[in-house]
Amino acid sequence: MPDESADGVDLDSGRRFVVCGDNALARRLVTELVDRYAVAVTVVLPSLTDNHAPDIAEFAAEAVAAGPRPEVVVARRLTSEVLHRVGVRGAAAVALVSADDVANVDAALIVREFDPDVRVVVRLFNPVLGEGVATMLGDCAVLSGSEIAAPAFVAATLGDDTPTYLRLPDDELLRTASRATLDPATADVVCALADTSGPEPVTLPPHEDAADLVLVRAYGRRRSAPSRPRRRLLRTARLVLGRRLRWALGAMAGLLAVGSVLLGQARDLDPVQAGYLTVLTALGGADADPTGSPVEKVTALLLVVTGVALVPTVTALVVDSVVRARLAVAAGRLTDPLNDHVIVVGLGNVGTRVVQELHSFGLTVVAVDRAATARGVAVARELGLPVLIGDASSPETLRAASVSTCRALVVLCADDVTNLETALLGRSLYRAASGGTAPPLRVVLRLFDEGFAQRVQWAFGINHSRSVSYLAAPAFAAAMMGREVIDTISVGRRVLLLAELPVGAGSEVEGSTCPQISRPREARLIAMRTGRVGQTIWSLPQRRPLVRTDRLLVVATRAGLAALLARTAPSDDPPPMSPSTVGGTPLRLLTPPPARRPSPDTGRSHPSVNGDATDRPEAGADR
C-alpha cells in the first residue's frame, strides 16, 4: 500500500490535485475534477464554516461513484508544513482560487518555494499582475473567472443574435452566430454548436444542419458599436434646473406676467413698459405713487411683498441645484433620465468585466452597487458611466437608475436570493411604469444553484441566468490537467469549451484520422496545427494519420473534453516515431497556392490555408 500521512493523504500519488479555496469556484472545481476526471483531490479550507466550505466538506464525505473521495485539510494559511501534509511535492497541480488577488499571489510564491516543479493554476483578476506571475513562476497558468464568464452574461443581455468573439493564440478571430443571420455565400462556418429550438439546447448535435447556433471565422477586427452622441446642452439644463427650481421659476414668471397685465391696464402702458416696471417693482425698485389708482397700488404692493419672498427662495434653489449638479458630476451619478440603457447591479469582478464589455458595444450603462469601495465603481467612473451607490433591492435606487425605461437589468451580486429579489422588483417597477402594455423587461441573473435556476425559470419566467463558477470551473480543471482552454462558449446555462490539445506520444489518437476524433454531443475537431511548420489547417485532411507533433483545436462539452484528454494523453512507454513514416505510410507536406476568400467584414481577401495531404492523387478531395 502507498505511504500515507497522518491525515490520510496519499503522498506518492502523482495524480493528486490540490485545490485551495472555499468559494463557489473551488466547490465547482472540486466537483469537476472528481466527477469528470476521476482524480484524487485534496481541498485546503481556511475553516469548515465559512462560505462554501460546509458544502465542500459534505461533498467530500459522500460516496462518489466517478472517482475517489476528496480529502479535506483545514488550515488558516498555507505554510510549508501544510503543503507537506496535503502532498504538494509530487502532486500533479495546485489551484489557488481565492477571490483575493494578493492572497493568491502570496500562496503561489509559497507553493513555488516548496516545490519548484509542481504546476500552479492561479485565479487573478488583474491582467498586468497575472502576466507577471505567469512569467515568473514557470509552469503556471493564470486565469480569470470573471473574464471567462463575462461574455456569457453580455450575450444574454444583448440577445441571442449578438455574436461572441473568441480570439485564438495566433490572433485569429472566431465568433458565434445565429445561422439565420449569415449569408451562406460568404460565411465561413467552422462547426455547428447547438440546436436551441427545443426547451433545452442540444450541444454539438449529430446533424449539423439542424443547429441554429454555429461557429464561424471572423476576418479583420472586432467591430465595436459607436457610442451615441449625448445632447450636452439639454443634459446640462436638466441637471441644473431641478424640479423645485423649475416650480419656483414658473411661479415667479406667472406673478410677473399677471403684474405686467394689471400695471399696463392701470397706467395705460404698452407691454414692454409694463413688464419693465413690474420687474423693477418685484425686485424692490418700486417708486411709490400716492396718486395711483387702487388697482395700481395693490398690484405694486403685492409685487414687492411677493418679490421679497421669492427672490431669496429662487436664489437658494439655484445655489442648491448648482451644488447638487457639481456633486453628481464629480461622483459620476445619473444626472438625467435615460432610455434604452442597461442597468448592471453588483460591481464585483464579474460586474466590472460586464460593464466594460457592454461599454465596448457602445451601449449606455448605469452601474449600481451598495458599496462605494466596490472594484467596479472606479472602473465605471473612468469610463464616464453613471454610478449609483445604494441598495438595488430598494425601489428608490432602481427608480433613480431609470429602470422604467431601460432595455435590460443585469443583476450580478454574490447572493442568489438578493439577485432574485432585485430582479423581481425591477420587473415590477418596469411593468407598472408601462401600465402593463410593454413587453416583459429582459432580466439576466447570476445564480449559482442549478436547481434554483430551473425553479426560478418555471415560477417567474426568468429564462436568462448564468453561473460564474459553472462557466469558469471547466477551464480551471483543464488547466490543472495541463491542457489549454482557449475560451468558453455559453449556450444557455450550458458551456462548451474551445481547447487546444497536443497529440500525446503513443496516445490512443496517434495514428488516427481527423474524422475519428469528433464524437456527436461530446467533441468536434475544428482545426489542427502541424508541428513542422506551425500552420493552422482549417480544411481538415480526411485520411492523413495524426502524429505526435500535431495539436488539435476542438470544441467540446465538459464531459467530452475529459474523455478527449484521456484519449490524447501520452503513454508511459511510447514507441519511437520515425521522421518519415507513421504507421508505414510515407508523409509529405503539400503547400498549394492559397485561395483568396472575400472577407465579409472588410471586403479584403484573405488566404485560406489548406492542410497536409499524403502523396496520393485523391488527396485533393480531402481539402
Higher-pLDDT residue of 316, 383: 383
Q: What is the 3-state secondary structure (H, E, C) of 347-359?
A: CCHHHHHHHHHHH
Residue type, 498: L
pLDDT for 290 equals: 55
**Closest by alpha carbon to 116, among 86, 138, 91, 92?**
138
pLDDT for 586 equals: 43
Give ranges for CATH 3.40.50.720 in the chain.
16-143, 342-466
pLDDT for 282 equals: 67
114, 90 in Cβ contact below 8 A?
no
Q: Mind listing the pLDDT tens digit for each residue in 262-271?
A: 777 777 777 8
In order, the DSSP letters of 341-397 are -EEEE--SHHHHHHHHHHHHTT--EEEEES-TT-HHHHHHHHTT--EEES-TTSHHH
Q: Mind listing the pLDDT tens digit for each residue in 529-542?
A: 886 656 788 888 88
Residue type, 448: F
pLDDT for 347 equals: 93
Choice among 10-19, 81-90, 241-250 with the minimum mean pLDDT: 10-19
Query: In this structure, which topology does domain 342-466 adopt according to CATH?
Result: Rossmann fold (3.40.50)
558, 592 in Cβ contact below 8 A?
no
Above 80 in pLDDT, residue 587? no
pLDDT for 605 equals: 42
**Radius of gyration of the CA atoms of the chain, in A:** 33
pTM of the model: 0.69
Q: Mind listing the pLDDT tens digit for each residue in 487-546?
A: 888 887 788 888 888 898 889 999 999 999 999 999 999 988 886 656 788 888 888 899
Choice among 33-37, 115-119, 607-611 with the minimum mean pLDDT: 607-611
Query: In this structure, which topology does domain 232-320 adopt according to CATH?
Result: Helix Hairpins (1.10.287)
Q: What is the 3-state secondary structure (H, E, C) of 411-477?
A: ECCCCHHHHHHHHHHHHHHHHHHHCCCCCCCEEEEECCCHHHHHHHHHHHCCCEEECHHHHHHHHHH
480-574+582-622 CATH pick, 3.30.70.1450, 3.30.1330.10, 1.10.3720.10, 3.40.50.880: 3.30.70.1450
pLDDT for 212 equals: 86
Give the Cα separation of 485 and 475 in Å (integer). Answer: 6
Give the Cα separation of 112 and 83 in Å (integer). Answer: 11
Mean pLDDT over residues 179-208, rounded? 84
Axis-axis angle for helices 24-37, 468-480 (nearest 10): 50
Above 90 in pLDDT, residue 367? yes
CATH superfamily of the 16-143 domain: NAD(P)-binding Rossmann-like Domain (3.40.50.720)
Give the Cα separation of 536 and 452 in Å (integer). Answer: 43
pLDDT for 422 equals: 94
Which grid coordinates belong to 335? 444626472
Confidence of residue 436 (pLDDT cuts 50, 70, 90): confident
Give the Cα separation of 592 and 589 in Å (integer). Answer: 10
Q: Mind listing the pLDDT tens digit for each residue in 396-427?
A: 899 889 899 999 999 999 889 999 999 999 99
Residue type, 458: W
Mean pLDDT over residues 62-84, rounded? 79
pLDDT for 253 equals: 78
* Backbone φ, ψ for residue 565 (5° rounding): -60, -40
